Amino acid sequence: MRFGKLHCVRWRRLLGVLLATLLVHMPWVAAWADDHADTLVICHSSLQPELKRWITYRRQQGHRVMVVPPSSNVLAMRREIHRLAAQQPLRHILLVGDASSQPSAVPTDYHRAQVNIHFGSSPEIASDNSYADLNDDGLPDVAIGRWPVRTLAELRNQIDKTIAYERHDSQAEWLRRINVVAGVGGFDPVIERSLEQLTRTFLTELIPSEFETRMTYANWASPYCPDPHRFQDAVLDRFNEGCLFWVYVGHGSPRNLDYLYTPTGRHRILSCEDVGRLQSNGKSPIAIFLACHTGAFDDDATCLAGDMVNAHQGPVAAICGTRVTMPYAMSLLSLELLTEYFHGDAETVGEWLRRSKCRMVEPDLGSPLRDTRTVIDSAAQWISPRADLLAEERREHLYLFHLLGDPLLRVPRPQRITLAVDGAISPGNTITVRGTAPGAGRLRLEVCYERGQLTFRPKARREYDDSPEERTRYQKDYEQTLTEVCVAREIELTDSTFSVEIEVPASARGAAQIRAFWSNHERFAVGSSQADIRR
């Protein structure tokens, strides 16, 4: 009798092992499968019916889509992705679902940390990078993104925003605006000054002058800081006014960004509780979080970037980190994102991030911004707490940063406007701006002060004053920093060439530029020319 029970137990164990082996090696059953698929979608069966509209839309653009259900076994998912990639010309992977304990979740892999554990991170990094790595060298070979949805309504909203974004009215000038929210780092003063200088360099020198940048800085001593009691309102205003990229640089946690600290208290920047106040109204930006934890899509309580992307009027996509991120590697990733957008030709957000991550690890010696990279690498040798692990830090950020969004989302890229100026640019003088736009459409010409140059002389903020009068002055100073425009003119073009007279204000002084924006509801174009307003 005992022998019989033991015999049955052994057979059950053996059957269990055989069944597990079959599940690991058994090919997925595809819900939709185009021949020669370039896009693999992994989605739970409960969410798949909502995908039909997105599949039809992408097929109309020439993509071939295969949809399969997820496995609870990460190893099985990786093996099946590799098997399909050997049979299909895969270039994109979309994971539909977060990586929590929800029934509709798509599991994520966990990469063992080497560097950020020295700075308080957990020993494992939640990462989808291994799904995109087809040859096990760590570098992503295909573009990958995740919609961190849990319900059909959230998935429907993601599809609505994605399609609307690609069909947006290009007449909107928000497409040339980049809004940056910066927190105070709280690092060693030497590191703090280096990071502030690097951020200033990125904004003033590395972003082409035809783009508009706006800074909101969580440092009450800066003119770029509004009334601290209204700081969160300013952050939301910069999001809701619409912009190409909405960027946060600073500390973060899974559900909150950092705080603005003053001698009398602290003021919240943004949290999951504030997501309901996002009102992009068809001007959804791509959000970039250069911060820790904001993209922790494996958290059962959700994460800030995920909640924002899932919000009805939130960002159309987000680039974010799942665990503790490091200043050096994040600086390099930021630089490569700038390089690829302004000097590269990636057509989709997924490919834009993939190339940027690869070049973060293996630099492009022909990059137009290679000198800036050299400066960052040299500075890291002096200011990084673990200068002996810089190569490991770069590689670790392959696993830390992710795209929450559709990897096939098309990157909006402007066409070019050529500009020439007749006449001396002096106060009170009239100049003639000539040029060529892509065709008939609306043209806006601006004479702008050089980026980073204040148009007023703010009172120094040496001591914090929380009185209503001083807070009003803080707010007024901040609002004055939001525009670089000295004078502007708008006209309707009937053909591609133009010649427009602009009167320079008598009060104008200093380094400047002529900036142009053109659109015709389908396309948009930008251009600029350096100038100097002198007597």
Q: What is the pLDDT of residue 198?
A: 67
Q: What is the pLDDT of residue 11?
A: 44
Greatest Cα pair distance, the chain, in angstroms, is 108
Q: Is the pLDDT of residue 6 over 80?
A: no
Q: What is the pLDDT of residue 19?
A: 39
Q: What is the pLDDT of residue 455?
A: 81
Q: Is the pLDDT of residue 81 over 90?
A: yes
Tens of pLDDT, residues 413-450: 999 999 998 877 888 889 999 999 999 999 999 999 88
Q: State mean pLDDT over 313-339.
A: 95
Tens of pLDDT, residues 138-193: 999 999 999 999 999 999 999 999 999 998 765 678 999 999 999 986 656 666 66
Higher-confidence residue: 441 or 201?
A: 441
Q: What is the pLDDT of residue 475?
A: 97
Bridging pattern class, strands 259-262 and 265-268: antiparallel
Confidence of residue 313 (pLDDT cuts 50, 70, 90): very high
Q: What is the pLDDT of residue 353?
A: 98
Domain spans, the chain: 24-146, 174-404, 415-457+465-533
Contact 285, 237 (CB under 8 A): no
Tens of pLDDT, residues 331-380: 999 999 999 999 999 999 999 999 999 999 999 989 999 999 999 999 88
CATH fold for the domain made of 415-457+465-533: Immunoglobulin-like (2.60.40)
Q: What is the pLDDT of residue 22?
A: 39
In percent, how much of the chain has pLDDT > 70? 91
Note whether 24-146 and 174-404 share their fold.
Answer: yes
CATH number of 24-146: 3.40.50.10390
Q: What is the pLDDT of residue 181?
A: 95
What is the rounded average pLDDT for all residues in the chain? 90
CATH number of 174-404: 3.40.50.1460
Check the CA dihedral 86-87-92-98 and report its sign: negative
Q: State mean pLDDT over 85-96.
A: 97
Q: What is the pLDDT of residue 7?
A: 46
Q: State mean pLDDT over 275-291.
A: 95
What residues contact 47, with CB distance under 8 A and at least 6 apart?
Answer: 96, 97, 104, 149, 152, 155
Of the candidates 208, 155, 190, 164, the residue with the CA atom closest to the CA atom of residue 49: 155
Q: In whole angstroms, how far apart are CA 162 and each of 8, 172, 349, 405, 507?
A: 55, 17, 12, 9, 45
Of the candidates 409, 433, 456, the residue with the CA atom closest to the CA atom of residue 504: 433
Q: What is the pLDDT of residue 527?
A: 96
Contact 412, 175 (CB under 8 A): yes
Tell me the one-letter amino acid at 356.
S
Higher-confidence residue: 520 or 257?
A: 257
Of the listed ranges 24-28, 36-40, 265-269, the one predicted with least confidence = 24-28
pTM across the whole model: 0.92
Cα-flanking dihedrals φ and ψ of residue 15, to 5°? Answer: -65, -40
Torsion angle of C-alpha atoms 518, 243, 358, 380, degrees rounded to 10: 120
Spell out where 332-463 has E strands. 401-404, 415-416, 418-422, 430-436, 441-449
Confidence of residue 256 (pLDDT cuts 50, 70, 90): very high
Of the listed ranges 1-10, 67-76, 205-214, 255-264, the one predicted with least confidence = 1-10
Q: State mean pLDDT over 397-423.
A: 94
